[in-house]
Amino acid sequence: MAGKKIATRESYGNALKELGEKYQDLVVLDADLAGATKTSTFQKAFPDRHIDCGIAEGNMMGIAAGIATTGKVPFASTFAMFAAGRAFEQIRNSIGYPHLNVKIGATHAGISVGEDGATHQCNEDIALMRVIPGMTVICPADDVEAKAAVEAAYLHDGPVYLRFGRLAVPVINDEESYHFEIGKGITLKEGKDVTLVATGLCVSEALEAALMLEKEGIDAEVINIHTIKPIDEELLVASAGKTGKVVTIEEHSVLGGLGGAVSEVLGTKCPVPTLRIGIEDTFGESGPAAELIKKYGIDAESICRKVKEFV
Amino acid sequence: MADKKRVANLKLQAAKCRQNVLRMVRAGGHGHVGGALSSLDIVTALYFDKMNVDPENPKMEDRDRFLLSAGHKCLAQYAVLAEKGFFDKEVLDTYGKLAAKIPGHPDMHKLPGVEANTGALGHGMSIANGMAMAGKLDGKDYKVYAITGDGELPEGSNWEAAVAAAKFGLDNLVVFVDNNGLQISGDVTKVMDMRPIDEKFKAFGWAVKYIDGNDMNQILDALDSIPEEKGKPTMILCDTVKAKGLSFGENKAGFHFWNATEELLDQAEKEMAELVSKLEKEKEELV
Amino acid sequence: MNKEMLQKTANQIRKDIVTAVYSAKSGHPGGSLSAADVMTYLYFEEMNVDPKNPDKADRDRFVLSKGHNAPALYSCLAEKGYFPVEDLKTLRHTGSYLQGHPDMKHIPGVDMTSGSLGQGISAAVGMALSAKLFNEDYRVFTLLGDGEIQEGQVWEAAMFAGAKKLDNLIVIVDNNGLQIDGKIDDVCSPYPIIDKFAAFNFKVIAVEDGNDFDQLDKAFNEARLTDGQPVAIVMKTVKGKGVSFMEDQAGWHGKAPNDDEYKQAMEELEKAGEA
């Protein structure tokens, strides 16, 4: 459906509601943000299995750990800043270390939070979460992928960090034919001159950039890496070997996120020149999301310009 | 009981500050008005009556400090700072714009008069502790005022700060709890019942006073008797009305964050203008 | 178990604690010894648990929020029959399953991994909440240090438990009055502990001497009868209890005895066991 836009946080809420019907052991926790994280969608359908912990994220992660020990599957939800940021140590020690079956639904990741500004724009969460041993880190690109990711996370045994956005983003996947598998990247467009590796809302921007590049005579391959950990090494190495140049694109710091993960793989297995596009080593600011995406250089036009310079 | 003229003047200032809030909403189309308006009377009393601050010299060493732990209530602070002359009122018209000096949460490096970058809930009391402790260490007699929301109190860092403030005897610290009873998800007692708030702070070693936080008389009485108890930090538990002054929004959780419609904004501006003229008249009559 | 048997068991557990820490050449004897009696009471009198079936679904749970008291927990579990007492001597050794702090993945009978202070109580709250949500009637016990309650997360958890009326949760505070840096009232006083938990909507039961089984018995019976709110048992104890030179000494919070000290400690405990 061309032109349709949905925020992946909406997809999260909708998926939880659907899964709640299917799986009786699914419990949703929130920290006074149910309306924003969209767990309110689940709450309306299953008020008894939706627990508001109040504004106390560290405790919420601990409660999720405790619930998981009893064999239930908790989804703990808040903004990325307060999940990966504030509650980092609780996630690391009470969930990661005992490898408990807790799913963390982190919404409002990245600068597309918009007007709330730097305090709420988490550009560091992928870096923080992927260094925890045993943690799976997923950053879906659109509604179709997000819903599939939530169910895959439920079915996966072990902690999962799911990264969602506040901003409505284009639906780029076809619901009928789409298949999600944790740890398997998806080649959206084949090409021979350069590989664009993107995640989250940057996937649609990368696709658009690839079309612009085509007009300039540059044939770009576009890969969607929805699972940042474990990352699809095989796919990355094969593509890098083919094109010889790799660009990573993410709504996250250029340090430690997708760019870091891809560089770690290619640096040892297939060293090629790489360019990391993302939020440079800086904090965000208040402003409409679309303007920020432009200003911070992760929109299709900026990507196109940077890739042209790089190739 | 506070002096009538003093009260009349502050009521008028508060109404003008509420006009400033509406001006920002007009510019940005939205804003966290609920908590800004519930706490605005307190902020007005602090800046226009109590605090030793100088708009010409916002970094004056001995100034009293104010910070909003609930940083999303920054419209109240922007409104009061503008009215007090810390910056040009035209800045209010940039609310919601990229690179504005008045972002969605306050930034101490962007706007004169802002003391801390708050917005992540539960940080403010610790920062205020540090400022108050520094005052004690330097032998200065400035005071530190902070406002926290009631919905913010479940955040554990508040209780770490509460224990520390009592231990260090920070009687130069005053924390207002803006007890408007509503948070983003609804009734605070339903989301996470943190009552009794006063008993908790007492058990954590604080002096506690309980007032109506939208009543200028009671606000001034409380401010005039600080510290409530020598050697102890003061907590002023303020019952307030969320979105106070918006006739159609008072006590509604939906106005925590307001996506304003033209029609309601027109109405609010009209009502507030009427209130300002009424209060101006009342003030003149007292002279 | 009668009082005499409980005392004998606790004395054996104290010997195990001292031996384990001595073998490890490091560890936390002070708090382990102050809490030895209450933990003995829990495992040998109060809790519905089965060492043959450590994961049975309807068991009562215990979360050692003050995870550094692992020697006490492991000693109780070993004496109860979860694993061989002999293994206690491998505490903190490379490759041993008896980690410095409790590890639920590898140690039978450990209900929650802990060690980072303030986090265990949240997990215990999660377990108690899960029982309520899914109509199960087990109870959850968690042991906190008095220094630990300086952590804000303890009050996040307490506020939640009070608000949700989790009467299947029993929080025990081991009030031995000392933390690493010294007396808790000098470091950052958490007193009055009782008023704090009361203000967070707990039923508070004060125990004058948490090393006395009669008083513990009375407190836990009262806890059992409490309806509609979580319980906090705040018990005064003596850090290092049972070993004369360790008693009430902050220095023995996290230190292993040398050969002579070990010998003396074991002699004292041996004598106490015969009495």
Q: Which residue has the higher pLDDT, B180 or B174?
A: B174
Tell me the pLDDT of chain A averaged across its residues. 96
CB-based burial, A64-94: b 16+ in 10 Å, e otherwise: bbbbbbbebbbbbbbbbbbbbbbbbebbbbb
Instruction: Enumerate the residues of chain B whose CB falls inside 8 A of the CB of residue C188.
Output: 163-164, 167
**Interface residue of C116, C144, C155, C164 to substitute, partner B, most B CBs within 10 Å:** C155
B155 and A CB contact within 8 Å = yes
> How far B39 CA sits from the closest chain A CA (Å)?
19
* Residue recorded with tokens 């996630």: A91
Q: Is C172 helix (H, G, I), strand (E, B) or coil?
A: strand
Other beta carbons within 10 angstroms of residue C188's beta carbon come to 16
Secondary structure (DSSP) of A192-241: SSEEEEE-TTHHHHHHHHHHHHHHTT--EEEEE--EEES--HHHHHHHHH
Mutation target for A interface from C151, C156, C169: give the one with most A CBs within 10 A.
Answer: C156
pLDDT of res. A1: 42
CATH of domain A186-310: 3.40.50.920
CB contacts < 8 A (B, C): 53
pTM confidence score: 0.91
Which chain C residues are closer than 8 Å to A54 by Cβ?
156, 159-160, 163
Q: Which residue has the higher pLDDT, A1 or A171?
A: A171
CB of C245 closer than 8 Å to CB of C228:
no
Chain B partners (3+ C-beta pairs within 8 A): A, C
A267 burial via Cβ count (<10 Å: 0-12, 13-18, 19+): exposed
CB atoms under 10 Å from CB of B61, counted, come to 8
Does A291 contact chain B (CB < 8 Å)? Answer: yes
**Of C260, C259, C255, the residue nearest C32 (C-alpha):** C255
Q: Which amino acid is at B100?
A: A
Query: Strand A168-170 vs strand A5-7: parallel, antiparallel, or unpaired?
Result: antiparallel
CB contact under 8 A, B156 and C156: yes
pLDDT of the residue at B1? 64
Count of domains for chain B: 1
The fraction of chain C above a pLDDT of 90, given in percent, is: 93
Give the residue on A whose Cα is nearest the Cα of B189: A54
pLDDT of residue A150: 98
As annotated, the active-site residues of A are 57
ipTM: 0.89
Instruction: Give pLDDT tens digits for A245-256.
Output: 999 999 999 999
The structure tokens 């070990």 sit at: C262
If you average pLDDT over residues C171-196, what whole number do you get?
91
Calculate the CA C193 to chain-centre distance. 17
Question: Hunting for tokens 């939070």 — which residue is that?
Answer: A113
- Structural domain of residue B61, as residue ranges? 4-286
Question: What is the least distance, in Å, from the CA of B123 to any CA of chain C?
Answer: 12
The partner residue sitting opposite C160, judged by closest CB among A49, A54, A98, is A54
The overall average pLDDT reported for chain B is 93
Q: Nearest CA to CA, how far is B202 from chain C (Å)? A: 9
Give the pLDDT confidence score for residue C226 in this predicted structure.
Answer: 97
The tokens describing A107, both together, are 């919404």
Give the H/E segment covering residue A259. Answer: helix A258-269
In tens, the pLDDT along B151-169 reads 899 999 999 999 999 999 9
Residue B169's φ and ψ, nearest 5 degrees, are: 60, 45
C60 to chain A: which residues are within 8 Å by CB?
Answer: none
Q: Name the pLDDT band for B184 (thresholds 50, 70, 90).
A: confident
Distance from CA of C233 to the nearest CA of B (A): 17
Residues in B closer than 8 angstroms to C163, CB to CB, are 192-194
Q: Which helix (H) or strand (E) holds B149?
A: strand B144-149
Q: Residue A74 has what DSSP assignment?
A: E
As given in the structure block, the two tokens for residue A264 are: 């770690």
CATH topology of domain A5-170: Rossmann fold (3.40.50)
User: What is the percent of chain B with per-residue pLDDT over 70, rounded to a whole number?
Assistant: 100
Domains A5-170 and A186-310 share a fold: yes
Average per-residue pLDDT in chain C?
A: 96
Domains and CATH numbers, chain C: 3-274 (3.40.50.970)
How far is A60 from A103, CA to CA, in rounded Å?
12
How many angstroms away from the CA of C120 is the closest CA of chain A?
Answer: 7
Contact A65 C130 (CB under 8 A): no
What pLDDT does C186 receive?
Answer: 85
* Contacts A93 to C, Cβ<8 Å: 113, 115-116, 119
Model confidence over C239-262: pLDDT tens digits? 999 999 999 999 999 999 999 999
SS3 C189: coil
Task: Evaluate if residue A82 carries a pLDDT over 60.
Answer: yes
Interface test with A, best of B109, B152, B155 (most A CBs within 10 A): B155
- Give CA–CA dist A273/A309, Å, rounded: 13
CATH of the domain at B16: 3.40.50.970
d(CA A272, CA A276) in angstroms, rounded, equals 13
**Cα angle at C32 between C26 and C36, to 5 degrees?**
145
Angle at which helices C119-133 and A57-69 cross, to 10°: 60
Of B30, B103, B154, the CB nearest to A54: B154
Q: Is A99 helix (H, G, I), strand (E, B) or coil?
A: coil
Return the minimum-mean-pLDDT range out of A149-163, A292-306, B39-53, C186-200.
Answer: C186-200
| CB-CB under 8 Å, B203 with C198 | yes
Q: Does the beta-carbon distance from C188 to B167 stay under 8 Å? A: yes
The pLDDT of C42-64, averaged and rounded, is 98
Whether the predicted pLDDT of A240 surpasses 80: yes
State the Cα–Cα distance between residues B242 and B256, nearest whole angstrom. Answer: 8
Q: Which of C149, C156, C202 to mutate to test the interface with B (most CBs of B within 10 A)?
A: C156
User: Which of B119, B122, B192 is nearest residue A52 as measured by Cβ atoms?
Assistant: B192
Would you call C125 an interface residue with chain A, using a CB distance cutoff of 8 Å? yes
Whether C105 contacts A98, CB under 8 Å: yes
Helix and strand counts by DSSP (H, E) for chain A: 13, 14
Query: Which residues, numbered 144 to 183 in chain A, qualify as contacts with chain C under a Cβ-Cβ cut-off of 8 Å?
Result: none
Is pLDDT of C142 > 80?
yes
Q: What is the mean pLDDT of residues C98-110?
A: 96
List the structure tokens of C117.
Answer: 């202070």
- Distance CA(C18)–CA(C22), nearest Å, equals 6
Question: Confidence class of residue A136 from pLDDT cuts 50, 70 and 90?
Answer: very high
Chain B neighbours among A 25-64 (CB < 8 Å)?
30, 32-36, 40, 52-59
pLDDT confidence of residue B189:
79
Confidence of residue A3 (pLDDT cuts 50, 70, 90): confident
Are B159 and C188 within 8 A, CB to CB?
no
- CB contacts of B117 in chain A (<8 Å) are 118-119
Three-state SS for B70-116 is CHHHHHHHHHHHHHHCCCCHHHHHHCCCCCCCCCCCCCCCCCCCCCC
Question: Could you tell me if A177 and A153 are in contact, meaning their C-beta atoms sit under 8 angstroms apart?
Answer: no
Do A59 and C131 lie within an 8 Å CB cutoff?
A: no
Any C CB within 8 A of A23 CB: no
Write the residue in C115, C129, C134 that is nearest to A63 by C-beta: C129
